[in-house]
Amino acid sequence: PHFILSQSNAARCGEAEMASEQYLTVNEVARRLSCHRATVYRMVSDPAVACPRPSMLGSLSRWRLTEIEAWEAARAAEREQAA
């Protein structure tokens, strides 16, 4: 169950192209990464981790699914190279 910005909400945010983008809540990102939601925010604030920053949709923090997937793939590639 990903947050999908509806056309009407996208228009209110002023970004119609966001309508087809899938977004994750902090809880969904935390579940995906098997960590606590506070850890997600710590990773975002740590430049060494390079975790994608959330987009602000009004007062809501949401992560683009495509950015999280790309970040996960990059981390997996780094781990494979280190092994």
pLDDT at position 15: 56
Band the pLDDT of 8: cuts 50, 70, 90.
very low
Could you read off the pLDDT of 15-72 as tens digits, one per residue?
A: 555 567 899 999 999 999 999 999 999 999 999 999 999 999 899 999 999 999 999 9
CB 63 within 8 A of CB 24: yes
Q: Among 28, 35, 36, 32, which Cα is nearest to 60's?
A: 28
Burial (CB count within 10 angstroms: exposed 0-12, middle 13-18, buried 19+), residue 58: exposed
CA-CA distance, 58 to 14, in Å (whole number)?
A: 11
**For residue 6, is pLDDT > 50?**
no
- Please report the pLDDT score of residue 13 as a whole number: 54
pLDDT at 55: 94
